Amino acid sequence: MEQPSPSDGSAELGDSEECDSEECDSEECDTEECDTEECDSEECDSEESSVYSGLEDSGSDSDSPGSREEEEEEEEEEEEGHQEDEEEEEEGAPGSPSCPQTQAKGKRKSLEDDSPLEGKQDLVVHDEYEEDSSDEEDIRNTVGNIPMEWYQDFPHVGYDLDGKKIYKPLRSKDELDLFLEKMENPEYWRTVQDRQTGAEVPLSEEQLELIRRLQRGNFGDVNFDPYEPAVDFFSHEVRIHPVTNRPADKRSFIPSLVEKEKVSKLVHAIKMGWIQPRKPKENVPAFYDLWAREDPNSVLGRHKMHVPAPKIPLPGHAESYNPPPEFLLSPEEKLAWEQQEPSERRLNFIPQKFRSLRAVPAYSRFIHERFERCLDLYLCPRQRKMRVNVDPEDLIPKLPRPRDLQPFPTTQALIYRGHSSLVRTLSVSPSGQWLVSGSDDGTVRFWEVSSARCLRTIPVGSVVKSVAWNPNPSICLVAVAVDEQVLLVNPGLGDRLLVAATDQLLDSWEAPEEERIQPVRWIPASPEERGKGIRLLVQHDKPVTQVTWHGKGDYWASVVRNPGGRQVLIHQSSRRWSQNPFRKSPGMIQCVRFHPLRPYFLVASQRSVRIYNLLRQELTKKLQSNCQWISSMAVHPGGDNVICGSYDSKLAWFDLDLSTRPYRLLRHHGRAVRSVAFHRRYPLFASGSDDGSVIVCHGMVYNDLLQNALLVPLKVLKGHSPRLELGVLDVAFHPQQPWLFSAGADGTLRLYT
Amino acid sequence: MGGLEKKKYERGAATNYITRNRARKKLQLSLPDFRRLCILKGIYPHEPKHKKKVNKGSTAPRTFYLLKDIKFLLHEPIVNKFREYKVFVRKLRKAYGKSEWGTAERLKDNKPTYKLDHIVKERYPTFVDALRDLDDALSMCFLFSTFPRTGKCHVQTIQLCRRLAVEFQNYVIASRSLRKVFLSIKGIYYQAEVLGQPITWITPYAFAHDHPTDVDYRVMATFTEFYTTLLGFVNFRLYHSLNLLYPPKIDSQAEDELKPAEGKEYAMDSESYLERLSALSASLARAVAPTHEDEVEVDEFPVEGETAELMDAKKKEQEALEKHKKLFEGLRFFLNREVPREPLAFIIRCFGGQVSWDKSLCIGATYDATDPSITHHIIDRPRLDKQVVGRYYLQPQWVFDSVNAKLCLPMADYFPGVLLPPHLSPFVTEKEGDYVPPEKLKLLALQRGENPEEESEEEEEEEEEEEGDNDKEEEEEEDESEKEEEMKLQKMEEQKMEEQKTQSKVLPVKVTAGKVRLEDKQRLEQEQQSEEKRLAIMMMKKREKYLYKKIMFGKKRKIREANKLAEKRKAHDAALKEQKKKNKKARQA
């Protein structure tokens, strides 16, 4: 709140501006009056002034003089019309103090100065000066608009116009003085301090009234009536007289050129057909008989290619609101359903039962399901898939019935018990009367086939890796591989003459004149060993894993576990002579066989089988087995077919005339195939595996080269119980009968007939 | 060697396919527009046989369209309309931005629109094609017609959907082509047979939708746009095939009947007309007065042998169908207010019944609850205080079950407050080896005309059940004869065990040695056969073996599931019986 100056007590503080402006307005009107019309047209002026002053007051309290001037100008312009006429007269009058209009606009103040009327209201004019010269209302203190706290510590509060200090009133008033003053001075409540001068000023009645009015939110001016009836100039009522007497424009009498131009443009556009009338909305029915003329030609090629979207599967009983009780999920099933992925669920909802139709709620995923269907329709790739509508029976190959392919071993006939540990190997005598087996318990046992009696047991002291009965019926000799030795044993079974002849054959050896360097040492058996039946010991430098005889019965081959070095040795028992056929070893050798008819030697390494011609000393063929690790190999007595068993439970049948790849890869066994065997006379072959089973197959080889071999599995023989992950370790056929022997990890040998 | 070097991926499969993005660029469309175009034109992605080849060596997942399809889209007039629309939107935005209201108004007046008539014709060159693809269209229209009139999609679309759905329902009533209905937990399935084509659609239960947020309503709206066009044309054609007026008019006679019932004006005329139509209680006006000689008698041709049998069967089928169509003929139904009115009114009218409801429930009620001529009163509350003599009070499931059974089922099971028999799906036709619920068996017997005697005493019931068990076993035996031997063997064993069990139950010690021996022989034979088979399977090629195993796995699973269901049922029945016995004992004590 601004402080009133003590000098003009009558002047009102907050109101001062308004009052001033009002006064000023009236002043201006006055000046105009005097400017324009000497002959006072009082009524008109008073009307105007009242109207405009009212408007201005309400509109802008703190109007700057500039803006006021603008308004003035407008007024003047309006008035120009009728002023113009009189202007000449005015100018004509020399004694008048009036000036031309232009001057009046720019230098109103000077004009006002000159006007003689001012003398009447000296004070007011003086005030106006002050207001005009500065924003501040009074300049009793010249310090300017600064925080008055800066003068807190000084005795004065500023300087007056003459540069004299304005001293603060003596402020020795303490609380008591204040109280006393409050009690004594009836004016105390209306006394305020002028911050400019520090003087205490009691407020006048008018000022108080003003404050009260403002506090109430009323208008500052007492005389102002905000609810004055509005006088509208432009009412709906038609007046006889114009509001202004300004003559009409010329352009309101003559036709408009711009319009003409526009119209002519439009007319031209219509003429040229650029503008056309808006087409009426055609009122054709939305639907009609679209397929009225079904044209067979309209069926495009596209439609033949079209893959119609599959229809949504129809609901089953489970979806019913009241399904049979068996279709409801048990708690476990419900749990499983909840844990499944939504895409894996067989039902996309949980079956529920409601007692009545009334109780059925809305299905919350209804919109979802429709939406998913939409997505399927436009996003799902479609592909025409041939439905495999085959009868599974048709897939099974039509094979000759096993019954028609008899004879083959079908049942387990005998069990040869005696070994205390797993039986690694077995061999049948060429007569088919005896059987030899080697076991991990360090013995070699000779059995009579028909009675399952153990006739002889030869302890050899170590694990027997391989036994092989000489295939020549005129020689009774068995090769036994033990550790680093191969023992040639004469079991002394059967014909005495034969036994004697064999011994004689072995003993007829005479040491050659010049000693040849041999890879092995041939050691004649000591008398003690001779008593056991051992005739010769062939000492190798590494453990021997396999021995195999040539068909003639003189040569035999042994495989030595000697990676990198020589692994295969071919021996001639009659001459006690050994040789190493290969300079280089083709990987780890698993198994070797002599070809039954031709001078071929088959060597199975880990993944392939090599066939060497021994006469010409060259590699004839290399068979790729497609297996990971060959375990065993057998040659068909015809000589043109080879089978290989592998540790990855496959059995590969090679047709040597056909290809170096397997003709057939049989995956019959569940586990590693340990050994395979061909029958010498019947078209049979067998494979023994770690799963404890022996599978007998019919393997018919035709003389006709155009016809491939016929392989038919005939029988799965089970008997051996797997032990230590090992099942059947060796299989062999009886030379004459369709019988099969098998050696198992359970320490038994079995005969199947 | 002459000739140009042939580059990779410029021949063969790679040139027949185009990725979605490239297709979009070729068509110069934005993704939403492309999507819309694909939906309207029915273009779908294709799965190439060798994805890597088509994808130019990359294995990134991509959707492929046939290049031919995209080329086909290139000269589609609608594509241009899409572009025009884009321009229109741009102009409109500009006009609004500049506050040129006049321009905006003019632009809005000239808003580019497109019609889908030619697309419908192109996608469905024959009417039957259109009918075949009507399932989704109907389901969608019925869904959209239940949407609230605010948000989600245009009110006009919803109204149009409602109109078309009601029109279709009226057609089905007029042609009596409804065949099957099913109350599922998802909604109500209907199946109608129109021109020999089965058309199935689902309607949601009449509840407000809880609109999910993860559903793109624009996609659905585009589909609906096409479907409404399709359905409109189909309706037109269907109405004309029955000589009905299209747009449908209520029969003047029926209209007169309806008028006085209303009393005062119900709503605006245009609205109330649709409402009256959707009440489904009045028959429709025909363009040509129906004559009863319309139905063509099929001439009989002299035929022999198998054809004659076939003809006979066909004739019988036809008769059954006619009978089915007139299932509710002459019956007067009244629907209580808690019963879903629309589905039931629709079904009852489809089978020739007359139906009414409380006047305050819906427009179109023809008679009052007190009408003495009412024969069936459908009610879905446990009991009714005031029962009128001379009518059956039934639960709504009776209507549905009767329609599916093609005969009016005995009503005792469906009285109010009674525990309802299970509601079975009519869409399931059990094949051999499938599980058949006992209710279905009973129903089949009813259809065959056998009337299973009402069980009065528990002993009888038990006996019957045992008989049922035996029947089942026999059936199983029949089934097995076709099944593979391996199964057979197992089953045989099981069966034998079961037989032994049952025998031991009934006659404790009467297993003769001779019999066993006899069976052994048979069994031996079978064992041999099964082994032969096993050996033959061993010789199968890898691929065939895989296929075979897959098929067998599916079969076995099916059997397993059927067995599981049967077991569950057995346990349930046993538990029920136990409960009954207990109750009885308690009553006796």
Q: What is the ipTM of this complex?
A: 0.84
- pLDDT, one tens digit per residue, over B235-293 is 999 999 888 888 888 876 666 655 544 444 554 556 667 777 777 777 777 766 555 44
Element (H, E) at B538: helix B513-538
Decide if pLDDT at B192 tops 90: yes
Rounded to an integer, what distance in angstroms lies between the CA atom of residue B400 and that of residue B410? Answer: 13
B573 or A34, greater pLDDT:
B573
Shortest Cα distance, chain A CAs vs residue B388, angstroms: 22
pLDDT of the residue at A493? 78
The CA-atom distances, in angstroms, between B32 and each of B40, B75, B216 are 12, 19, 12
Question: In chain A, positions 286-325, which contact chain B (CB-CB < 8 Å)?
Answer: 286-291, 294-295, 298-300, 302-303, 307-309, 311-312, 314-317, 319-325
pLDDT of the residue at B297? 55
Shortest Cα distance, chain B CAs vs residue A309, angstroms: 9
What pTM was computed for the model?
0.64
**In chain A, which residue's Cα lies nearest the Cα of B397?**
A357
Cβ–Cβ of B340/A373 closer than 8 Å? no
pLDDT of the residue at B509? 58
User: Backbone dihedral region of A154: left (phi > 0), alpha (psi from -120 to 50 degrees) or beta?
Assistant: beta
pLDDT of the residue at B497? 59
Average pLDDT on B525-541 reads: 83
The alpha carbon torsion through B63, B67, B71, B72 (nearest 10 deg) reads -80
| b/e map A621-648, b = 16+ CB within 10 Å | eebebebeebbbbbbbbeebbbbbbbbb
Cβ–Cβ of A382/B233 closer than 8 Å? no
Q: Does A283 touch chain B (CB under 8 A)?
A: no
The CA-atom distances, in angstroms, between A420 and each of A43, A264, A533, A744 are 150, 126, 22, 12
Q: How many CB atoms lie within 10 A of CB A130?
A: 13
| Number of A–B residue contacts, CB under 8 Å | 257
A306-315, A677-686, B77-86, B149-158: the lowest-pLDDT one = B149-158
Q: Does B566 touch chain A (CB under 8 A)?
A: yes
Closest CA to B194 of B139, B234, B157: B234
pLDDT of the residue at B511? 56
Decide if pLDDT at B12 tops 60: yes
Write the CB contacts of A98 (distance below 8 Å, at least 6 apart in sequence): A34, A35, A90
Closest CA to A467 of A427, A421, A422, A502: A427
Element (H, E) at A165: strand A165-167
Q: Does A379 touch chain B (CB under 8 A)?
A: yes
Q: Does B381 touch chain A (CB under 8 A)?
A: yes
A133 or B145, greater pLDDT:
B145
A375: number of CA atoms within 13 Å, CB side?
Answer: 10
pLDDT of the residue at B488? 56
CB contacts, 8 Å: A366 with chain B: 143, 186-187, 204, 209
Q: Which sign, positive or negative, has the C-alpha torsion A86, A87, A93, A98?
A: positive
Question: For chain B, what is the radius of gyration of the CA atoms?
Answer: 32
- Long-range contact list for B579-587, CB < 8 A, 24+ apart? B580/B458, B581/B458, B584/B458
Q: What are phi and psi of A522, to 5 degrees?
A: -95, 120
Which of A291, A374, A715 has its CB closest to that of B219? A374
Decide if pLDDT at B40 tops 70: yes
Q: Pinpoint the alpha helices (H) of A134-200.
A: 175-184
pLDDT of the residue at A106? 41
Q: Give, in degrees to the nearest 5, the angle at Cα A619 between A613 and A620.
A: 70
The CA-atom distances, in angstroms, between B161 and each of B165, B274, B414, B581 are 6, 12, 35, 55
**In chain A, which residue's Cα lies nearest the Cα of B39?**
A378
**In chain B, which residue's Cα lies nearest the Cα of A297?**
B125
State chain B's mean pLDDT as an integer: 81
Do β-strands B332-335 and B354-357 pair in parallel, antiparallel, or remain unpaired?
Answer: parallel
- pLDDT, one tens digit per residue, over B200-244 is 999 999 888 888 888 999 999 999 999 999 999 999 999 998 888
CB contacts, 8 Å: B420 with chain A: 322, 355-356
Under a CB-based contact definition with an 8 Å cutoff, are residues A632 and A676 in contact? yes
Rounded to an integer, what distance in angstroms lies between the CA atom of residue B527 and that of residue B165? Answer: 61
CB contacts, 8 Å: B548 with chain A: 392, 395-396
A110-119, B289-298, B501-510: the lowest-pLDDT one = A110-119
pLDDT of the residue at A726? 85
For chain A, list residues with pLDDT below 70: 1-139, 171-172, 298, 388
Question: In chain B, positions 295-354, which contact chain A (CB-CB < 8 Å)?
Answer: 338-340
